[in-house]
Structure 1
Amino acid sequence: MSRASTRQKHPASVRRAEPSVRQLVVAVVLVSILSVTFMIVVGRRSATRTSGRGPVTAAYESLRPVGRTLGDLSAPITIVEYSDFQCPYCKIAADTILASLKKDYIKTGRARFHYQPVAILGPESLRAAEAALCAEDQGRFWPYHDRLFATQAGENRGVFNDVTLKRLAADLGLDQARFDSCFDRGQRRQDVMAINREANTRGVTGTPTFFINGVKVVGAVPYVQFRQIIEGMK
């Protein structure tokens, strides 16, 4: 494993952390209370809806997903990303960097990729991360990850409200009762908080932040930088 080093930061490609964990939890509670006042009844899934094994899920089968990890678990290179679902640069990273990593290194067995959802941009970040982990419980983290980034539209504007997050689960054919129970009871909240603490311990101050066998890369930097680091790991 290469010794850890910090790559040059690109301010225009990274979203900085803002609220404290305590402020975040309080804000989420308030958002949850407010959201109840305008909750609508989500219709039951129709009998024609699939069990979630649509094109989005099938696209990941060749990547051998296990929870939040893609690729061969014994691959020599491990890439960890700390990412916030509200972060615009994280969306860019998902659409470009991750897409290229899949093709060049994950599918070929040279690298495995692990996603760590952090909540640093406000209450909707926390709720989105919780929802994604509830989807992970049903083996649908990656399709849900994709839907969240496709839905992203600004920070804390009500986009990731409880109704929408549950609808995304329904659209993917998840067991709705199981998802709702996980989400409403906050069963994965402590896991998100633990990831936040881990990120803080590793010196993550903005998203996205990657670690490639310990080498730190901050921001949605040009993909060539990832190639240079990986190709230098012989």
Structure 2
Amino acid sequence: MIVIPIVIGVITGMFLAFYPQSGDDSKLLTESKLIQNGSPIMGNPSASITILEWGDYQCTYCHKFHQSTLNTIKHDFIETGKVKLVFKDFPLNGPDSILAAEAAYCAEDQGKYWQYHDELYKNWAGEKTGWVNHDSLDKFATTISLDLNKFNECLDDHKYLERVNQMYEFGKKIGIDATPSFLVFNNEKIIKITGNQPLEVFLKSIDEL
């Protein structure tokens, strides 16, 4: 098991080094621990650099990231095999955000996590406005041709509620306190980016690794 070392030093103002606050925290900072229970990996699982995004489907700036910066990262780094992406839920906007997260994992049961994930952000309609509900979630499921009976059984049973709650608690434990937040890392260094920063911040963090 490789524990990612503590990073000490000054990183440019728009993003900063993330490091464990105690010996116990350092045990959490392995690649396998960081991505455990998250989304399926987008990209080459063997890519040396990982971007771990912590997000909320109702979050305004998460939506902006997915509609802009992520497209370039996908094209230049994920599709070329240099970087892999994992998404973890950090639902700050109440029960609707939790329900949306559960729905994405119900879609994963049918092999369509990322398609559903994209539908959620594509149909984003604000924070705490009521756009996340069973009718809209069914509509998104239909759009990507999910089996609605299986999808609704999963959602009604709250099959993935505990998984979402565990991700949220783990995020708090390692210092996540806002969405979107990103940990960009390899086996030597972790860089934390908070907020929907300009593309240049992500490019610089990748260059640092």
Same fold (TM over 0.5): yes
Q: Of 133, 156, 166, which aligns to 1:161?
A: 133
Corresponding residue number in structure 1 for 2:89? 117
1:207-226 matched pairs, under 5 angstroms: 207-213=179-185, 214-226=190-202
Could you say which residue in structure 1 is the equivalent of 2:80?
A: 108
Change (3 A) 1:2 1:8: farther
TM-score by length of 1: 0.71
Deviation of residue 171 (structure 1)?
1.7
Q: How does 1:155-194 map to 2 (within 5 A)?
A: 155-194=127-166
Map of 2:29 onto structure 1: none
Contact 1:123/1:156 (<8 A) preserved? no
**Is residue 100 of structure 2 the alignment partner of residue 128 of structure 1?**
yes
1:137 and 1:8 map into 2 onto residues whose CA distance is 41
| Alpha-carbon offset, residue 68 of structure 1 | 2.7
CA distance in 1, matches of 2:95, 2:159: 16
2:39 and 2:88 in contact (8 A); partners too: no
CA contact (8 A) 2:45 2:84 kept: yes
**What does 1:13-162 align with in structure 2 at a 5 Å threshold?**
68-162=40-134
| C-alpha distance in structure 1 between counterparts of 2:126 and 2:140, whole Å | 18
TM-score when normalising by structure 2: 0.79
1:118 shift after superposition: 2.0
Runs of 4+ in 1 over 6 A off after TM superposition: none
- Counterpart of 2:203, as a letter, is R
Residues 62 and 179 in structure 2, CA contact (< 8 A), matched pair in contact too = yes
1:227 counterpart = 2:200: no
CA–CA distance in structure 1, aligned partners of residues 12 and 103 of structure 2: 32
Q: Which secondary structure state, in structure 2, belongs to the residue aligned with residue 100 of structure 1?
A: helix
Q: What CA deviation, in whole Å up to 9, does each residue of 1:107-150 have, x standing for no partner? A: 11111100112211111101111111111111111111111112
Contact 1:116/1:195 (8 A) holds in 2? yes
Alpha-carbon shift at residue 102 of structure 1 (Å): 0.7
Give the secondary-structure state (helix, strand or coil) at the position aligned to 1:74.
Answer: coil
Distance (whole Å) between structure 2 residues aligned to residue 101 and residue 197 of structure 1: 28
Distance in 1 of aligned mates of 2:39 and 2:176: 22
How far apart, CA to CA, are the structure 2 residues paired with 1:4 and 1:84? 27
Distance 1:89 1:67, change over 3 A: closer
What runs of 5+ residues in structure 1 fail to find an aligned partner?
11-65
Provide closer, same or farther for how the CA distance between residues 4 and 95 of structure 1 changes in structure 2, counting only shifts above 3 A: farther
For 1:69, what is the secondary structure of its paired residue? coil
Larger Rg over CA atoms: 1
Aligned to 1:195, which of 143, 164, 167? 167
Residues 39 and 87 in structure 2, CA contact (< 8 A), matched pair in contact too: no
Aligned mates of 1:102, 1:111 — CA distance in 2: 9
How many residues align? The count is 178
